[in-house]
Amino acid sequence: MGLDDALIFTRVVECHSFTQAAQSLGMQKSTVSRRIALLEERLGVRLLNRTTRKLRLTEVGQAYYERCRQIMLDFAEAEQAVMQLQQEPSGLLRVTAPIEFSQLFLGRVLGSFMSQYPQITAEVEITSRNVDPLEEGVDIAILVGQPQDSTLIARKLFENGRRLCASPAYLAAHGTPRAVADLVRHRAVLLPQDSPRHWPILGESVPCQWVLQCNNITFAREAVIGGAGIASLPLMITEDAVHSGELVELLPQARLPVGEIYAVYPSRRFQAMKVKAFLDFLMRSLPLQDGHLLEPGAATLIRSRL
């Protein structure tokens, strides 16, 4: 069954007139009459008995009309449901995000968002892997670095700045570097993006002697607080420790690599209200300074923005 033919037939029955049905549909009466005739021919049945003054449904036509009318009602209801989804955030929101970002920020932000929009339910996967939102049916994937897939939309959330840090105990035992070149004599704690041969400092080539490599920034921070060595760590997990004195920031003049964090989603066209509303809410809620994400040591700062 063609939906267009079903609509024309339903309108003719409800208007009791080819002329009025044609006017309501913005069509010629001859076109409406021809489409009904073709519909009857295709179905091999007579749907309407026509006289010069009256239209009357046949028994088959009555059954067909009732089914078509229900289809039209379902279609109108579907359209209304979609429009309502665009007016008020609702439905299931599927998000993936890196571990530390999820623990420090995403949980609190999402909880506040769901409190504001109680029609939202959520599924969150906390993972260090890069997720393809199109392939895995995810509404928003928060990723380190801009994706290469040009079919995806990437919205930059923040820059993940870094600082060189060590514990007071380590510095008391090994001395405090006063210049970048002094790092050659110090012990390095490395993350996966760091070269095992040189300190991660832009424009410099300073050999390093690493003592620990790990694939988790929180683990690296705790090892540095324990005195393992010096590491280049994200601002978002070191702000509190620097303020409390557990860590000391070193060589602030050194230029360190900056990571970029993106929210990635399949399409901007006909974007679900739940996705747009959450992305806007997330951007308003993050404790940013000059585009860099700070640790919620902030917990007071992030609470004040929610």
pLDDT in tens, 17-39: 898 989 988 999 999 999 999 99
CATH of the domain at 116: 3.40.190.10
The total domain count for the chain is 3
| Residue 260 lies inside a defined structural domain of this protein | no
| Residue 117 lies inside a defined structural domain of this protein | yes
Q: Are residues 44 and 100 in the same domain?
A: no
Structure confidence at residue 53 as a pLDDT band (50, 70, 90): confident
Nearest to 200 by CA among 168, 224, 233: 233
pLDDT at 2 > cutoff 70: no
Last-in-domain residue among 34, 60, 87: 87
Instruction: Kindly report whether the global pTM for this prediction surpasses the value 0.85.
Output: no
Q: Are residues 230 and 169 in the same domain?
A: yes
| Residue 48 lies inside a defined structural domain of this protein | yes
Q: Are residues 180 and 197 in the same domain?
A: yes
CA angle centred on 60, ends 55 and 61, rounded to 5°: 35
Residue 221 has a pLDDT of 97
Q: Which domain holds residue 95?
A: 91-160+267-305
Q: Are residues 7 and 83 in the same domain?
A: yes
| Residue 114 lies inside a defined structural domain of this protein | yes
pLDDT at 306 > cutoff 70: no
Structure confidence at residue 296 as a pLDDT band (50, 70, 90): low
Residues in contact with 258: Cβ distance below 8 Å, sequence separation at least 6, in sequence order? 159, 160, 161, 162, 292
| Residue 175 lies inside a defined structural domain of this protein | yes
Q: Are residues 140 and 279 in the same domain?
A: yes
Residue 100's CB is within 10 A of a number of other CB atoms, namely: 20
Distance of alpha carbon 160 from its chain centroid, rounded?
18
Last-in-domain residue among 87, 102, 134: 87
Contact 233, 224 (CB under 8 A): yes
Last-in-domain residue among 87, 118, 134: 87
Separation CA 233–CA 294 (nearest Å): 12
Structure confidence at residue 305 as a pLDDT band (50, 70, 90): very low
| Residue 255 lies inside a defined structural domain of this protein | no
Contact 294, 287 (CB under 8 A): yes
Q: Are strands 248-250 and 292-293 parallel, antiparallel or unpaired?
A: unpaired
Query: In the chain, count of helices (H) and strands (E)?
Result: 12, 14
104-114 per-position pLDDT tens digit: 899 999 999 99
Q: Are residues 139 and 192 in the same domain?
A: no
| Residue 256 lies inside a defined structural domain of this protein | no
| Residue 167 lies inside a defined structural domain of this protein | yes
Q: Are residues 153 and 179 in the same domain?
A: no
Residues in contact with 125: Cβ distance below 8 Å, sequence separation at least 6, in sequence order? 95, 96, 97, 131, 138
Q: Are residues 224 and 288 in the same domain?
A: no
